[in-house]
Structure 1
Amino acid sequence: MDELALLQRSGGPVTRSRLVRDLTTLGLADGDVVMFHTRMSAIGYVAGGPATLIGALGDVVGERGTLMVTCGWNDAPPYELVTWPQPWQEALRREHPAYDPRLSEADHSYGRLPEALRRWPGAVRSRHPDASFAALGAAAEALMADHPWDDPHGPGSPLARLVAMGGRVLLLGAPLDSITLLHHAEALAEAPGKRFVDFEQPIMADGERVWRRFHDIDSSDGAFDYSSVVPEGEWPFAVIAQDMLSAGIGTAGTVGAATSHLFEAADVVDFGVAWIEEKLGKG
């Protein structure tokens, strides 16, 4: 979408002060610990791009607050590495760079904001290569420290700590299915047929590049088979989130030109676990 179309959508430039007003009206407040997901094009023409949006979020949550994003690792070895011809596997294992929280780019499919925030002065990124997060602000170190190598969406993860700190989830024009925190609900839910994956990625350990094996819920194809409870063509997390809103959980408003939502992290997890166990059966 070109600049003129973005300007027309948002009724002129979306400036930092306008973002601050809209975010405050939505309910974001000083001292908040907030994980946010953004679709920039939905907001309109943001004067200054990601830096302006991060600055506005920082203005609202203040020095006591913290911003958090999901990063992943854009250039991670593919999960299907083990299916490659053996010489290809060996070449990759010999030379693929290790994950580096300072240098490894955030997954491009998550948009521009995760990469912008993880590069921000003072930002802290978690150590897990596949499920990394980044945070900026007063609670950044506490959120990111000692990210569990296995079950990185479960207990002790940055997602679990977000809930424990009374954190919030903010969707800035992002679709409802982008709520990463629902992976924490999947990790906690006791329902039959939970799917797991095991994979290897290179990390640095004691100054050496090593390939480490990881165990996690299947966050790519889904930790559960939702086909019996989610209409064909719809995304499970979008259905769960819409049901949350219908139950009166979360608030909606407009930031720039974008329909946006704000949820309490604990409510998202409690509702998500209950929804999964009710719909799929507890076991």
Structure 2
Amino acid sequence: MDERALLERSGGPVTGERITRDVRALGVREGDTVMFHTELSALGYVPGGPPTVIAALLEAVGEGGTLLAYTGWNDAPPYDLPSWPEEWREAVRAAHPAYDPVVSEADHANGRLPEALRHWPGARRSRHPDVSFAAVGARAAELTDGHAWDDPHGPGSPLARLVEQEGRVLLLGAPLDSLTLLHHAEALAEAPGKRHVRYEQPVLDPLSGQRVWRSFWDIDSEDGAFDYAALDAVAEGEWPFAVIARAMLAAGIGTRGTVGAGESHLFDAGDAVRFAVGWIEREFGA
């Protein structure tokens, strides 16, 4: 990491106090429930890294507020495991550890912040191996407990509860295509061509405590719940969530500002989901 370049881009250190001030200027309030996505390097040089960011966000939402982040599972078995040669497949099934909310690492593709959040004192993490979320704060248990095994982006999911709690989504230097909340809109949208997947992953049986392989059913969040590439609204190579998010901003949903050196956005979760469901159903001819 080139600290000097980061310092110059952000006009000096991006301290926790500066982050708190900037996110409050963006619209974060005390008592808010906030799901966040962060591209740390976009903010500039943050002394202390992820813990500084988390502490600053907790300061912004106060004791009555809550932080939520998508964690996933970095070492989940691959989706194409059933297509592997039988000898390899059975070796993995026999030896692969079960997902454990306490010890299983967050998906590295989501950056360093979700892993830091799940280690934070008092953190709660949901039980779903592929779509787990971590939360810290007053409503952490309400957000994460009892995460449904099937349709884990849909009703009753941490994303659905975020909407019910009138929560918000903060893109902290993160690009618009990182708006994971839109998977909830995909799960709710009633439109032709919705794609689903079924896969197996090992979990701990709640009664016996033994490792078992369990089948899960969900929208296809890897290749896309819908064929966005077929839409005129989505140019070749564009990320569809970024297209939807830009349309939201153009419709007056969400605010834009700067945190440190990073362009950041804040969306009300309910407004964002309602807009995205309508966008999907309209574009796919519900």
Which residue matches 1:103?
Answer: 103
- CA deviation profile, 1:86-120 (whole Å, cap 9, x unmatched): 01111111110000000000000000000000111
- The yes-or-no answer on 1:201 pairing with 2:205 is no
- CA deviation profile, 1:150-200 (whole Å, cap 9, x unmatched): 000000000000000000000001000100000000000001000000000
2:80 aligned counterpart, secondary structure: helix
Paired AA for residue 211 in structure 2 = R
TM-score by length of 1: 0.99
Paired AA for residue 74 in structure 1 = N
User: What stretches of structure 1 move > 3 A for 4+ residues in a row?
Assistant: none
Which residue matches 1:264?
Answer: 268
CA distance in 1, matches of 2:229, 2:121: 43
CA distance in 2, matches of 1:59, 1:236: 33
Structure 1 residues 1-283: aligned runs within 5 Å: 1-205=1-205, 206=207, 207-229=209-231, 230-282=234-286
CA distance in 2, matches of 1:22, 1:47: 16
- CA deviation profile, 1:112-150 (whole Å, cap 9, x unmatched): 000000111100000000000000000000100100000
Gaps of 5+ in 1: none
Gaps of 5+ in 2: none
Paired AA for residue 222 in structure 1 = G
Distance apart, 1:20 and its partner CA: 1.1
Distance apart, 1:25 and its partner CA: 0.6
CA distance in 1, matches of 2:221, 2:129: 14
- CA deviation profile, 1:53-101 (whole Å, cap 9, x unmatched): 0000000100100000000000000001011110111111111000000
2:149 aligned counterpart, secondary structure: coil
CA distance in 2, matches of 1:134, 1:237: 22
2:177 aligned counterpart, secondary structure: helix
Of 228-237 and 53-62, more deviation after overlay is shown by 228-237
- CA deviation profile, 1:29-54 (whole Å, cap 9, x unmatched): 10000000000010000011000000
Give the paired residue count: 282
Distance apart, 1:228 and its partner CA: 2.5
CA distance in 1, matches of 2:230, 2:249: 22
Identity %: 69
CA distance in 2, matches of 1:226, 1:91: 37
CA distance in 2, matches of 1:93, 1:17: 48
CA distance in 2, matches of 1:16, 1:175: 21
